[in-house]
Amino acid sequence: MIHLIQDPQELAPWDNSPLGCRIFSMALGYGTKMPFLHFWREKSGCISLMDDVMTLAGDFECPLELREFIHFSGAKTVFCENPSLSKKLGFSASDQGPEMIRDSEHPAIPWNLSHPISLKKMHALLKACKTPSFSVSDFDSFYLDLNHRIRHQTADVWGIMDHDDLIACLAACICPQNALLFSGAVHPNWRRHGIFSAIIEAVPVYLPKRTLFLCCENSLCSYYQSLGYHICGQWIEMKALS
């Protein structure tokens, strides 16, 4: 049976995978009383719903109950990391790719990253890197969400500057044990200079004693493997409603 979460710590058992880390981090940053963000759990899985985007972590004992729950929730997009569950739910997969984890033996390479960075400049950089598979929300919602989580120490951002221009950035959802990297980008004019490799290899210095996860496109898997990451699962995006 699916239960509404009252205490963010109820989600701690799922802080062992990329999407579980994302859900737990959001709960720690926002709490469980926000009208636009809700959390649930059952015996073997947990759920978050922000606006019309749902994220699932873990296994679920009754996929039929979960499917009905998703429909009644109004979710339009659902992310999960369990291929067998996604098949049982029966929704159409719109995208998928590898989940990756950083090898603990891989040495971090110190780099004097810019920290903190301007979220306005970060948003402009992400907009400049927009592709059909990579987009960013409008500035107000982007700023309100990320700034809130940074202030509550459940997210952080880093960058590399060229004088006053932000040319690379990377963010992370942060939990007590793990962190999930996201929104990594290098300005198109500065690519193929090893800049992103520098920032992603330096960030572990800023997140000591945490396991680092990331979710990427299939085409980038070999690149991240060269930086000390290996595949630990698969993320799947599904469209729940037509």
pLDDT (tens digit per residue) in 35-75: 999 999 999 999 999 999 999 999 999 999 999 999 999 99
d(CA 111, CA 200): 10
Structural domain includes residue 151:
yes
Please tell me the total count of domains within the chain.
2
The band of 242, judged by pLDDT with boundaries at 50, 70 and 90, is low
Q: Whole domain around residue 156: which residue ranges?
A: 102-234
b/e map 166-199, b = 16+ CB within 10 Å: bbbbbbbbbbeebbbbebbbbbeeeeeeebbebb
Residue 87 and residue 108 in one domain:
no
Domain limit, last residue, from 32, 62, 97:
97
pTM, 2 dp? 0.95
The band of 232, judged by pLDDT with boundaries at 50, 70 and 90, is very high
Residue 12 and residue 66 in one domain:
yes
pLDDT computed for residue 241 by the predictor: 66
